[in-house]
Amino acid sequence: MAAAATKTAAPALRRSARHLIKSEAVSAKLAANGATATKDKMKKKKKEEGEGKKRKGPPDHDGIATKKPKKEEEGEEDDKYHDHHHSVPVQSSSSSSSKADLLKARKLKSFTAFSQRSPFPSFPRPTPQDCRLAHSLLARVHGERSRPPAVIAPTNSAGCGDSPSVLDALVRTILSQNTSNTNSTRAKLSMDDEYGGSDRWEAIAQGGQARLEKAIQSGGLAAVKSRVIINILQQTRARYGVYSLDHLFAASDEDAMKEMIAFQGVGPKTASCVLLFCLQRASFAVDTHVHRITGLLGWRPPGASREETQAHLDAVVPDDEKYPLHVLLVTHGRRCGECKAGGRTVRNCELRKAFRPQRSGGVVKVDESEADAEEKEEEDVVVKNEQLELLRDVKKEEDDDDADD
């Protein structure tokens, strides 16, 4: 019986063995094909990475290679980064968030690199004597400018950092960005009227961006500025539990600058104005007037951006000259027929007579084309850096909303 059973089962066992052998052969073949495919993929990936390295531009400030921008401009907030990001569309809130984080890191790194030294260490001007001579000449024309003993927020104008409250000073300075004093004052008074007074931060934050945008519309770039202000209020409340940045009174100059420029929409000039006027520190802010005039005087390389010029002048202008010289240069830039934007050289300006290129160690004189370019950059029409980036985001969101409708 056992022999018969074995004989009967033998064919089935042989079939199972053949099936097993065939399956193992198929598996081996698949494994071999998979290994070959994996190897081919690795070769392809390696080749693509090699080609990618050839295509990539130079490393950015964080050591991350980025596509080379088509152009480089001057501006208040890292224009090389700005131009690069204008070449790619905003795709999502996550993309915008990481973009903002990257810009924040760039701003902080750029500021830290030159917070203690000039980006042009071999550039000879201005010397301390140059600064004192310019101060003396300008004071004769426009009157002396001295730092007030106490900071009092103006009630009939926006000011630029003029407030004993750091948060209020920052908001006022943001309202003054890229517009005239008249327009920024109109926007500030309209905002106060809308929310029932000054410093109504909770009402502003809770009222939302659209309401604030409408309130400050007369100041220009309202969509951008309203978003910047709302973001600052939200971040300040989330971080400190109150709508206040007055802890910066106890911070070092460098730490105060870093905290302010970490906010999106706040550049070195805006932060420097708050440092100079509100915190009453020695900081040399460079606006369009200061940038233009220091170019005419040969106090900066002709191609230096505002950020580079500010870093250079903040490093070389004596601390006791930073407040009066800044205020006098701004005043002079608005009033002098030769030194204002688009002014014509008639050789009557005592300041320019004192700092002719021939007496400036071979410094190249700023030509009329640069003066014309400066005219186009006047605060009423210039749209710079993060503000352009934010405006782009706002328009993209509006387009998306229209598409959804």
* 305-325 per-position pLDDT tens digit: 999 999 999 999 999 999 999
Q: Which amino acid, 402?
A: D
Low pLDDT (below 70) residues in the chain: 1-97, 357-405
Each residue's pLDDT tens digit, 24-57: 554 455 445 554 555 555 555 555 444 444 444 3
Cα separation, 294 vs 313, in Å, equals: 9
DSSP string, 338-364: TTSTT----S--HHHHHT-GGGTTTPP
- SS3 sequence, 87-109? CCCCCCHHHHHHHHHHHHHHHHH
In 56-89, alpha helices (H)? 79-85
Alpha-carbon gap, residue 219 to 186, rounded angstroms: 7
- Kindly give the residue spans of alpha helices, DSSP state H, lying in 149-200: 166-176, 181-195
Burial 308-346 (b: 16+ CB within 10 A, else e): bbbbbbbbbbbeebbbbbbbbbbbbbeebebbbbebeee
Q: In angstroms, rounded to a whole number, what is the distance separating the alpha carbons of residues 75 and 86?
A: 14
Instruction: List, by residue number, the catalytic residues.
Output: 269
Find all residues with CB under 8 Å of 306, minimum gap 6, and list them.
Answer: 74, 75, 76, 269, 286, 287, 288, 291
| pLDDT score, position 240 | 96
Could you give the CA distance from residue 154 to residue 135 in angstroms, rounded to a whole number? 26
Cβ atoms of 310 and 112 within 8 Å: the answer is: no
Task: Name all domains of the chain by residue range, CATH numbers in brackets.
Answer: 123-147+282-357 (1.10.1670.10), 152-279 (1.10.340.30)
Q: Is 214 left (phi over 0), alpha (psi -120 to 50) or beta?
A: alpha
Tokens of 299: 């106090």
The pLDDT, as a whole number, for residue 320 is 98
Q: Which two tokens stand for residue 175?
A: 């309202």
C-alpha neighbours within 13 Å on the C-beta side of residue 241: 0
What does the pLDDT read at residue 356?
79
pTM: predicted TM-score of the whole model, two decimal places: 0.67
